Each structure stands twice: as C-alpha cells, then as structure tokens.
Amino acid sequence: MPSQSQNKRYSPLEQIPHHVAIIMDGNGRWAQARGLPRLAGHRAGTENLRRVLRATVEFGVQVLTLYAFSTENWGRPKSEVQGLLSIFERMIDRELSELHEEGVQLRHIGRLEHIPARFQRKILNAVALTKDNQRLILNVAFDYGGRAELVNAIRRIITDGVPAEQVDESLVSNYLYTAGCPDPDLIIRTSGEMRLSNFLIWQAAYAEIYTTPILWPDFDKDELYQALQAYNKRERRFGLATE
C-alpha cells in the first residue's frame, strides 16, 4: 500500500537546489532504540535509499551526493565493517539494473584501493554502465574523507608538475574526486548532529546546511521536502553584502 507521503500533494518550490548532499547519520541509534544490532540499522538505512532517490528526482534535484562510508569508518569493529561492505555490495547487485533503467548516473567519490577487489570491480562496472545517464547524477562517497581528498589532489598537482603560480581554486577543484560536478547547494545531516564530519569540506564552502533530528532510516519524502522548504527561505549571498 502506498504511504501517505507518496499520495501527498506538495506545494511547488520556487528554488530547487541543483545539488543536494546528505550525511546519512543515525543508523546505529535507530537500531539501538529497537533493541536490534547495529547492522540491522545499516540495512534499514540502505533500504531507505530507494524512497529518497525517488523523492529527489520528483522534486527536481539533479545531483545527489550520499556520504556512505568515511575513511574513518574503517576504525569501527571488524564485524561491522565487513557487514557494511556486504550490505553495499548486495545493494549494487540488487539495484543496479533498475537504477540504470531509471536514468541514474552512478559516480564513486573516494578511494578505491582499500576496498576489496570484488567490490571494486562492481563499483567500476556500475560507473561504466551508467556513465551516459542524465536523469540524476548520484555520487556515492565510499571510503571518502574531505582531508584525504585534498591531500590526494595536492599530490597529483605536484606529480603533474603544475607551477605554483598556476594553482588557483578552479585548478584545485579539477583535481578533486568531484571534478566536473557543481558544488552542493544544500547539505542535509540527519540525526541532529551539527558537524560536517570531514564531508566535502572544500565543496561545502558556501553550501546551505540543514540538520534534522530524524534518524536516517526514518528520513522520508516529507523530511526531504521540509529540507527543501528551509532552503527556499535562505538568502544565499556567497560572502557578499546585501543593500
């Protein structure tokens, strides 16, 4: 049976952010509140991706970036890390065909070298298969960290022998994992935390930040619409003064 949010009519929004990024936080607390193991929360959070993707497309967002696994997450208990890798690998197996049919272009941002070889191949296959799709660009930040991204960019600039006087903001942006993708207009963080947690720290310079106490597995179409409504009430000045 369709949920109430599926049948609900939403008032048009004057401004739709081109690029929305989400820090999907709260899976563990969601599971703990229900007396379930943490991996049950991660599975619920993964299942939630479907409805958020559909809502994102319906509201007209063109780029969505999801913070799926950080460089720091390797420090979690081994059983949880292995479980997370299995969950995401199974998700690719299960969802890739439908995402491709629906016009979603998958991109990976982050490091690949620490990811198990079989999972790497599946990520690269998904990126190659969907590279020409245009309905929605979905950046999945997996083994991603903003500081690691900047270190990687600096190393590549040095390796390429770029003279110091040629290094500017545009050049640095072109060496990031997100090269060719516009900076996020809106960053949403679930679970009520008030920090970026090493996510898109270069790209987020002028993004609007929205936090909600809702835990990620419960973040639905209504919650996304509320975030977009809040974005519509913001005045984006990009460091400039208004008269």
Are the CB atoms for 233 and 218 separated by under 8 Å? no
DSSP strand pairing (19-23 vs 208-211): unpaired
Q: What are phi and psi of 92, to 5 degrees?
A: -60, -45
Are the CB atoms for 217 and 25 separated by under 8 Å? no
Q: Encoding tokens for residue 111?
A: 């490091």
Residue 187 host element (H or E): strand 186-189
- Best CA proximity match to 88, nearest among 115, 63, 53: 115
DSSP character at residue 141: E
Q: What are phi and psi of 33, to 5 degrees?
A: -65, -20
- Secondary structure of residue 33 in the 3-state scheme: helix
Q: Write out the catalytic residue numbers.
A: 25, 73
How many angstroms separate the first and last alpha carbons of the chain? 51
| Beta carbons within 10 angstroms of residue 215's beta carbon | 23
Q: What are phi and psi of 6, to 5 degrees?
A: -70, -35
Query: What are residue 209's DSSP bridge partners?
Result: 187
